[in-house]
Amino acid sequence: MVWAAMVVMVMSTSSFQKVAIFGSTGSVGLNTIKVLQAQKEQYDVRVLTANSNVGLLAAQAKELDAAYAVIADETKYEELKQALAGTDVTPMAGQEALLEAASMEADWTMAAIVGMAGLAPLMKSIEQGKIVAIANKEPLVAAGPLVMEAARQSGAMLLPVDSEHNAVFQVFEPENKKAVERIILTASGGPFRDATFEEMEKATPEQALAHPNWEMGAKISVDSATMMNKALEVIEAQRLFDLRPSQIEVLVHPQSLVHAMVEYSDGSILAQMGAADMCTPITNALGWPERLKTPGERLDLAKMSHLEFRPVDLERFPSVTLAYECLEEGLHACIALNAANEVAVEAFLSHKIAFLDIYHTVSEILRSAVPERLESLDDIISYDKLIRARAKSAMVENNFQQTGT
Ligand code: NAD
Ligand code: MG
């Protein structure tokens, strides 16, 4: 990231910024709209996108007076067109439309689609060379080298929105990178932080979705329950901050107030703290390099009795170990980890497999993944598809089933 050059560029732009939100109907998307609406600055929301929620997308587009509303599910085009009849919002639909929207001019883009579905539009947004706020971690995990290289080539500024990575970004001194000894990502531990193995074996989607500290979309909530979210975040951090895997550590911090820390050679540990509310990292990314006012929650330290940090129990949460193994193995393993996980989480949420079978599926797929030539976006997308097919067959062959539902 070319901090200094980007600061000059951003400072010199007017306060009337063109904004695009990919995944505007999701949890991060909704918070992004909340943050935008709280600012006094003028934002010209050009593009909003969603997968299939026409009603919400149309309502958002009308409310924000967007220029384009894009629904990824092509079959919903007529419905969207009708919902936007009589407005100035142009309806668009399908994968190509998503890419077209990502190619439109935007000063600030929020990448908040969930999963690998966000990769192709993200790459298009980056090509424009402006500011891209990234919540969508899966493309960084599975195509990190390509994403980072595309940003280097276009000069785009990638601003991490994932709370831990935004926290690192805030306390990471690029000019002192050599003095960075390690970064510590905190983890709430999710709903099963203190659960027994037997309880996790029987865990239902409803229990897995009940996150103690954060309100998030379904996929990331399940990832938090398995702690696969932290595995993805270790890889995400490696991509964003270009560190050795051994410099990235994870600590369980049940209060979710300290989001990440950077330890320097002089022994100083700089931490970022804030309420467990995505409005803070989103506001940080929207305002950068300045600081705006968050419409979200504030942290009242006087009400905190203690802060607790402990190592991850890798016996109960073996997913975290997979991140380090995959970084060691290479890109094919990172793609496989992410793809198998996406498929397994979907199966778990549809009551097809048990909670612990998510890990069983991912680790089985990883055992059979061998290095591949993965240089282009197409290479990565095809390999991702292959792994998804393998993961689906593995779940059927193993006759995984969710019981008691
Ligand atoms: P979500 O499920 O609430 O929303 C996802 C958005 O993506 C929706 O707008 C949906 O319509 C859209 N979408 C889903 N599938 C799509 C597809 N195939 N094509 C096009 N659009 C599609 O998810 P979320 O919780 O907002 O998370 C979004 C991303 O941000 C994820 O990668 C997640 O890991 C990351 N993230 C989320 C949070 C959080 O607090 N929710 C925190 C950190 C990082
Ligand atoms: Mg996070």
The answer on 35 and 151 residing in a single domain is: yes
Does residue 287 sit within a domain?
Answer: no
Residue 29 sits in a domain whose CATH number is 3.40.50.720
The answer on 173 and 145 residing in a single domain is: no
Q: Is 220 in the pocket of ligand 1 (CB under 6 A)?
A: yes
Model confidence pLDDT, tens digit, residues 170-219: 999 999 999 999 999 999 999 999 999 999 999 999 999 998 888 899 99
* E strands in 28-107: 43-50, 68-71, 90-93
Range of the domain at 171: 166-277+296-397
Tell me how crowded residue 9 is: count the other CB atoms within 10 A of its CB: 16
Does residue 204 sit within a domain?
Answer: yes
Domain end position, chosen among 144, 160, 176: 160
Supply angle C-alpha 264, 268, 273, rounded to 5: 100
The answer on 194 and 88 residing in a single domain is: no
Over range 316-338, report the average pLDDT. Answer: 98
Does residue 40 sit within a domain?
Answer: yes
pLDDT > 90 fraction of the chain, expressed in percent and rounded = 91
The answer on 235 and 129 residing in a single domain is: no
The answer on 177 and 131 residing in a single domain is: no
Tell me how crowded residue 63 is: count the other CB atoms within 10 A of its CB: 12
Q: Per-residue pLDDT for 4 more than 90?
A: no
Model confidence pLDDT, tens digit, residues 258-303: 999 999 999 999 999 999 999 999 999 999 999 999 999 999 998 8
Does residue 357 sit within a domain?
Answer: yes
Domain end position, chosen among 114, 143, 160: 160
pLDDT of residue 15: 59
Look-up of token digits 């904004």: 19
Reported as half-sphere exposure (CB side, CA atoms, 13 A), residue 79 has a value of: 15
Does residue 68 sit within a domain?
Answer: yes
What single DSSP character describes residue 156?
Answer: P
The answer on 264 and 174 residing in a single domain is: yes
Whether 128 contacts 106, CB under 8 Å = yes
Does residue 203 sit within a domain?
Answer: yes
The answer on 202 and 66 residing in a single domain is: no
The answer on 136 and 20 residing in a single domain is: yes
Please give the torsion angle defined by the CA atoms of residues 354, 358, 360 and 364, in that order, rounded to the nearest 10 degrees: 140
pLDDT of residue 404: 59
Output the DSSP codes for 54-69.
Answer: HHHHHHHHHHHT-SEE
Look-up of token digits 């997979």: 322
Residue 266 sits in a domain whose CATH number is 1.10.1740.10
The answer on 92 and 134 residing in a single domain is: yes
The answer on 194 and 126 residing in a single domain is: no
pLDDT of residue 201: 96
pLDDT of residue 213: 85
Does residue 251 sit within a domain?
Answer: yes
Indicate the residue type of 385: K
- Give residue 357 CA to ligand 1 midpoint distance, Å: 23
The answer on 86 and 36 residing in a single domain is: yes
Model confidence pLDDT, tens digit, residues 218-249: 999 999 999 999 999 999 999 999 999 999 99
Over range 297-312, report the average pLDDT. Answer: 93
Question: Structure tokens of 331?
Answer: 């890109």
- Give residue 236 CA to ligand 2 midpoint distance, Å: 10
Model confidence pLDDT, tens digit, residues 104-121: 999 999 999 999 999 999
Mean pLDDT of the chain: 95
pLDDT of residue 150: 98
The answer on 357 and 236 residing in a single domain is: yes
Output the DSSP codes for 270-309.
Answer: EEEE--S-THHHHHHHHHTTS----SS----GGG------
Q: Is 263 in the pocket of ligand 1 (CB under 6 A)?
A: no
pLDDT of residue 42: 85
Mutate which of 110, 163, 220, 283 for ligand 1 pocket (most atoms within 8 A of beta carbon)? 220
Q: Is 154 in the pocket of ligand 1 (CB under 6 A)?
A: no
Model confidence pLDDT, tens digit, residues 371-401: 999 999 999 999 999 999 999 999 999 999 8
pLDDT of residue 12: 43
Does residue 282 sit within a domain?
Answer: no
* Atom 43 in ligand 1: residue holding the nearest Cα: 162
Number of domains in the chain: 2
Model confidence pLDDT, tens digit, residues 31-71: 999 999 999 778 999 999 999 999 999 999 999 999 999 99
